[in-house]
Amino acid sequence: MSSAFSVEGFRSLAKRRLPRMVFDYLEGGAEDEKCLQRNRLAFDEWEFRPRRLADVSTRDLSVNLLGNALPMPLLVAPTGLNGAFWPRGDIALATAARKAGIPFMLSTAANASIEQVADKAGGELWFQLYVVHPSLADQLVARALAAGCRTLVLTTDVAVNGKRERDLRSGFGLPFKYTPKVMLDGMLHPRWSMSLLAGGMPQMANFANQDANNVELQAALLSRKMDASFDWEALKRLRQQWPHRLLVKGILHPDDAARCIELGADGVILSNHGGRQLDSSCSPMSVLKDIALAHPGRVLVDSGFRRGSDVVKAMALGAAGVLIGRPLLYGLAAAGEAGASQVLSIFKDEMDRTLANMGCAAMAGLSLEHINSVRG
Ligand SMILES: Cc1cc2nc3c(=O)[nH]c(=O)nc-3n(C[C@H](O)[C@H](O)[C@H](O)COP(=O)(O)O)c2cc1C
């Protein structure tokens, strides 16, 4: 792993270890993947205004996130099918998160069940809910509660599946279909194939051993065929049902953010699903400042964060925390839990250096004073 000094370094390692089909699932976006590019370009719209002659001999990255102290403002984004990247991938990621002292969000489409992750990884476990079917959602919410989750994250940006052409071309799905092309891909990536053989085919673990609808539900989830009728009334019901912290993920419009908070959500996560859903969607970084100003301390953000300095920009614009998606999957795919931990260390080191060179000793001390729009 000596060559991996950056997220990009881990991306290269992940690309080398994973079959093309699996790497494309990890990496891909919707349609022309313009949203993926825009998510990265959005960071260039902002530049720092460093201050001088401040004592930055010690730096403090800690923040208060919705009332909880975190050692740094990062959270592990929910991602489905982590078992395709590394055996027991969800548990590896959750363990890396616990060791770093940050929350881990388990996806509805995870390859380890809520109960397994709570039992095996410990740490601060949040559950991400996809509403595939209302009665199934009720069961998942009850299980998350019983397993000790105290934060529920409702994802709202998958009314229907984004058109991901890399997956359409490769035929990616679970279980893997062993076409000659897939077999060859596997043979060319023996380290990944051996670990799949040893660990077994990943399952949608939150649905294993359920009722007869199971196969149908798994297929619906895999193709991200959600309950597209889920609306504000349904959010109200979920708010009544869930007694702890509720966050709504996938918000990009200020009026939607305001309505979520009015209905009792504790916060929103600005996200375009890492460019995987609506290719012409705006980037969360371009709407963060105004929405965060309207709801201080309640706005988290993700999509496109690859550098510690990206996180510092979001925090200066008023974010309460930043979710990291693909970078941790690169680390996981390259070297399991150790790789994910190393990616978190890279972010931490880069955030620390950025703060020092900006003349700001504390992450919690960042403000709009520290940042300029390049457009003036
Ligand atoms: C492979 C992959 C799987 C994902 N699965 C889910 C999921 O199951 N639920 C969800 O809410 N978001 C999912 N996301 C979106 C992430 O939670 C997050 O919003 C996104 O990855 C952030 O962008 P980034 O990858 O550029 O950091 C997934 C993203 C990726 C890359």
Distance 286 CA to ligand 1 centre (A): 19
- Residue of minimum CA distance from atom 30 in ligand 1: 79
Q: Which residue is listed with tokens 């670990």?
A: 195
Q: Does residue 278 register a pLDDT over 60?
A: yes
Residue 184 has pLDDT above 90, yes or no: yes
For the cut 80, the answer to whether the pLDDT of residue 209 exceeds it is no
Helix (H, G, I), strand (E, B) or coil at 362: strand
41/180 Cα distance (integer angstroms): 38
- 250 CA: nearest ligand 1 atom: 19
Q: Given this model, what pLDDT does residue 225 score?
A: 72
Could you tell which of 36, 79, 161, 326 is best to mutate to test the pocket of ligand 1, judged by most ligand atoms within 8 Å of the CB? 79
pTM: 0.97
Atom of ligand 1 nearest to the CA of 78: 17
Helices (H), 162-241: 165-170, 180-187, 190-199, 214-222, 232-241
pLDDT, tens only, 345-368: 999 999 999 999 999 999 999 999
Name the 3-class secondary structure at 75.
Answer: strand
107 pocket-lining for ligand 1 (C-beta < 6 Å): yes
177, pLDDT greater than 90: no
- The reply to whether ligand 1 has any atom less than 6 angstroms from the CB of 342 is no
Query: With pLDDT > 90 as the criterion, what percentage of the chain qualifies?
Result: 88
Structural domains in the chain plus CATH codes: 7-373 (3.20.20.70)
Average pLDDT over residues 120-133: 95
Strands 245-251 and 151-155 come out as parallel
Dist. CA 273 → ligand 1 center (Å)? 5
Alpha helices in the chain (DSSP H): 7-17, 20-27, 34-41, 89-100, 114-120, 134-146, 165-170, 180-187, 190-199, 214-222, 232-241, 254-262, 284-294, 308-316, 326-358
Ligand 1 within 6 A of 249 CB?
Answer: yes
Which atom of ligand 1 is nearest to 27's Cα?
Answer: 31
pLDDT category, 94, cuts 50, 70, 90? very high
pLDDT given for residue 160 in this prediction: 94
Ligand 1 centroid–CA 275 distance in Å is 9
Residue 150 pLDDT more than 50? yes
Q: Grade residue 214 by pLDDT with cuts at 50, 70 and 90.
A: low
Q: Is the pLDDT of residue 210 over 70?
A: no
Look at residue 128 in the predicted model and tell me its pLDDT. Answer: 98
* Closest atom of ligand 1 relative to the 269 alpha carbon: 19
Q: Is pLDDT of 371 > 80?
A: yes
Mean local confidence (pLDDT), 135-162 = 96
Ligand 1 contacts CB of residue 273 (under 6 A): yes
The predicted pLDDT at position 336 comes to: 98
CA of 360 to the centre of ligand 1 (A): 31
Is the CB–ligand 1 distance for residue 82 below 6 Å? no
Does residue 25 carry a pLDDT above 60?
yes
Is the pLDDT reported for residue 84 higher than 80?
Answer: yes
Q: Does the CB atom of residue 26 touch ligand 1 within 6 A? A: yes
> b/e map of 41-61 (b: 16 or more CB within 10 Å)?
ebbeebebeeeeeeebeeeeb
- How far, in Å, from the CA of 368 to the mean position of ligand 1? 28
Predicted local confidence at residue 349, as pLDDT: 98
The pLDDT, as a whole number, for residue 208 is 78
Can you tell me which atom of ligand 1 is nearest the CA of 77?
17
pLDDT at residue number 62? 98
Are the beta carbons of 171 and 177 closer than 8 angstroms?
Answer: yes
C-beta 304 within 6 A of ligand 1? yes
Task: Give the model's pLDDT for residue 124.
Answer: 97
Q: What is the mean pLDDT of the segment spanning 73-79?
A: 99
Burial of 208 (0-12, 13-18, 19+ CB in 10 A): exposed
**Separation between Cα atoms, residue 274 and residue 28, nearest integer Å:** 9
pLDDT value of position 212 = 47
Percent of the chain with pLDDT over 70: 96
For ligand 1, whether the C-beta of 78 sits within 6 Å is yes
Probe target for ligand 1 pocket from 25, 108, 131, 276, with the most ligand atoms within 8 Å of CB:
276
Question: Is residue 369 over pLDDT 80?
Answer: yes
How far apart are the C-alpha atoms of 304 and 40, rounded to whole Å? 5
Could you list the active site residues? 273
Residue with CA at minimum distance from ligand 1 atom 11: 155
Which of the four pLDDT bands, split at 50, 70 and 90, describes residue 175? Answer: confident
Average pLDDT of the chain is 95
User: Average of pLDDT values for 183-205?
Assistant: 93
Question: Which pLDDT tens digit goes with each residue over 296-351?
Answer: 999 999 999 999 999 999 999 999 999 999 999 999 999 999 999 999 999 999 99
